[in-house]
Amino acid sequence: MSGTFKTISKPTEGLFKDRGSKFIAYAFPIQSVEDVKPHLERLKAEHPSSRHVCYAYQLGVDGIEYRANDDGEPSGSAGLPILNQIKSKEVTNVLVAVVRYFGGTKLGVSGLINAYKEAAKEALETASVIEKVPTSIIKLQFPHSSIGDVERLIRQNGWEIVQQEFTLDCKWTVSGPSSEKDDFIDQLNLLPSVQLR
């Protein structure tokens, strides 16, 4: 393990047709399980007359987390072939969802396996694969008077601010290299007004 992982740089699409059925695959780069649901909800809203939205995702570098979902198709005929394409591309932090429009002719389990596999393969083949350093997310809460100190630590350590919320206190989400997370937290703990959420 070189300290990096491969993922896709941006969303891509793929299409496979068989006996009137249309399989539209969408590949998305994701950071966490929480990223999956919004993509699936958007696809279901964009394709209200589709029969199924089957998907698979793989997350993580060392402790790989994955899931395959058949969304009503015969067990193992959709999610698993999609997941196997993600694995064969050797990428992680990726979601591939395939929207199926039924064309009137049943494809059988082997036909479905092939269709979902080919659609996922098409989307992943058009994707740009990039190498990334594993990152961690830290959520902070601190008074407005500590903004300067917190910003300085973030900048000095090469972390970046992902989200900022200014209410009674500042609530920030920051992101940086996982390999430096413990050291960064130690430095944050030296600021008495900063709390990790």
CATH number at residue 76: 3.30.230.30
pTM of the entire predicted model: 0.79
Q: Per-residue pLDDT for 131 more than 90?
A: yes
d(CA 90, CA 134): 15
Where is 128: in which H helix or E strand? none
State the amino acid at position 147 in one-letter form. Answer: I
Q: What is the mean pLDDT of residues 44-65?
A: 93
Are residues 177 and 102 located together in one domain of the fold?
no
State the amino acid at position 32 in one-letter form. Answer: S
Q: Which of 102, 77, 99 lies closest to 21, judged by CA?
A: 102
Residue ending a domain, choose from 87, 109, 131: 131
Q: What is the mean pLDDT of residues 77-102?
A: 98
pLDDT tens across 149-196, in order? Answer: 999 999 999 999 999 999 999 999 999 998 899 999 999 999 999 999
Q: How many other β-carbons are positioned within 10 Å of the β-carbon of residue 132? A: 14
d(CA 81, CA 8): 19
Residue ending a domain, choose from 80, 99, 131: 131
- The fraction of the chain above a pLDDT of 70, given in percent, is 98
The encoded tokens of residue 145 equal: 């008077």
- Residue 166 belongs to what domain range? 134-196
Residue ending a domain, choose from 131, 146, 172: 131
What's the confidence (pLDDT) of residue 63? 65
What's the confidence (pLDDT) of residue 192? 92
